[in-house]
Amino acid sequence: MTSHSWRSFALAALLLTAAFLTAPAARAAADAETPKTPAGRVFAAWLAAFNSGDAAQFRAFDAAYPREGAPPVEDRLRFREMTGGFTVIRIEKSDPLSLVVLLQEKGSDTMVRLEMNISADEPPKVLKSTLEAIPRPPDLAIARLKEADALAALTARAGELAKKDEFSGVVLVARKGKVLLQKAWGLANREAGTPVTLDTRFRLGSMNKMFTAVATLQLVEAGKLALDDPIGKYLPDYPNKDVASKVTVRHLLTHTGGTGDIFGPDFEKNRLTLREHGDYLKLYGARGLTHEPGAEHRYSNYGFVLLGALIEKVSGMSYYDYVRSRIFQPAGMSSTASLAETDAVPNRSIGYMKDNGKWVPNTDTLPWRGTAAGGGYSTAGDLLRFAQALESGKLISKASLAAATTPYKEQYGYGFGIREEGSLRSYGHSGGAPGMNGELRIVPRLGYVVISLSNLDPPAATRLVDFFALRMPAS
């Protein structure tokens, strides 16, 4: 798997983790009947090809029903691996040339809505085909459990997935400062036979963005940054003047700046020479905007790299020194950092990604080291300490935390994703790339902190956090 796959893999993971993902509950005994319309026939062919997990069937479908801009077969196969395929739950809308279908992952309770439009040609072309993860509809809701029963169900589910070699990692659940569950499964290093323990350090992917957001807000509170200042005020030599003059600190924190991604051919070519935040700015700094700042939410890893550069500029410290001294040390996070992959880090796990149906090390896909956008490592215990320090006001003020965890666009605040569900309202962040997946979710009103970390492909860890989130008590 080449390093550019980080981006497509993360996007597929994001699709699945946009709603609460859970493990199997009662489901329909058989697929709902597909309409015998032109759109229904194309959908049935797509579903058969997708569920087969066979590249030849994907290609045959593409040849029979062309679609402009269809994702590469490799990416679709990887997505099929993540989902296990789909079962049709019900047809929500049916016209001769269009279809809206509610699907459910095989092997989990994840609900996805597919919308497909086709042309009137013979054979038809696929004009539109979108998948969107959605919360379970009320009529398909899963009953909530008492706390002890929810914890027991989570433990059993993690054990079941580990036995099937679909989970390797740690799960931790705490409430109001008391740890209710912390348990490890699987191997941290398959070649050496090293088991995962509670001290195993897992790569975090985009979970680093929470640290970057907190660091930025600390500097806002100190008067060294202002949310609505353009980045050019602090980076006067930034190459692209449009970006420098229009994109604000707030835009970067909320993924609304139009600053684009870092993954792709340029990253693949320069993966091991991109060692500092300044290296990313040299490579991507001349690039223009993808959209007018503030107009829309488009997840931007480069935007958080820019925040790292701003932190370094106004603090006079490297990003790594800043987060260590102002976040990790005050929170008591002694096992969290972003040392280079070439450094020997005790207890750091090896990540394993699926390649031709087998788990193989992800070593050749990794960046030189983690950045302000993601890629550091931590333990479940350290992430609990981070959550507790954040909630207590030790890292930023309660007012700043409230602003950071208020949705700005697309249920995203300042470096935190937010889920609005009454007393179950939560915030946190996930991280995912080949061979790594993590999730931290904080439920302030109920006092829960739920964490899972894994050294396998997404959504190995996120599924377990979502499993508990769907079954945990609502009061």
Catalytic residue ranges: 206
* Secondary structure in 3-state letters for 374-395: ECCEECHHHHHHHHHHHHHCCC
CB 452 within 8 A of CB 169: yes
Q: Which one-letter DSSP state was computed for residue 473? A: -
Kindly give the residue spans of alpha helices, DSSP state H, lying in 324-459. Answer: 329-331, 380-392, 398-404
Rounded-to-10 torsion of CA 112, 258, 432, 372:
-160
Helices and strands (DSSP H and E) totals, the chain: 16, 16
Residue whose C-alpha is closest to residue 19's, from 103, 78, 84 = 103
Alpha carbons 5 and 22: distance in angstroms, whole number: 25
b/e for 253-277, b at 16 or more Cβ within 10 A? bbbbbbbbbbbeeebeebbeebebb
CB 270 within 8 A of CB 282: no
Tokens of 114: 């597919």
Strand partners, 425: none
Alpha carbons 115 and 195: distance in angstroms, whole number: 43
> Is the bond preceding 459 in cis, omega lying within 30 degrees of 0?
yes
Burial class (CB in 10 A: 0-12, 13-18, 19+), 436: buried
Alpha carbons 405 and 383: distance in angstroms, whole number: 17
Helix (H) or strand (E) segment spanning residue 234: none
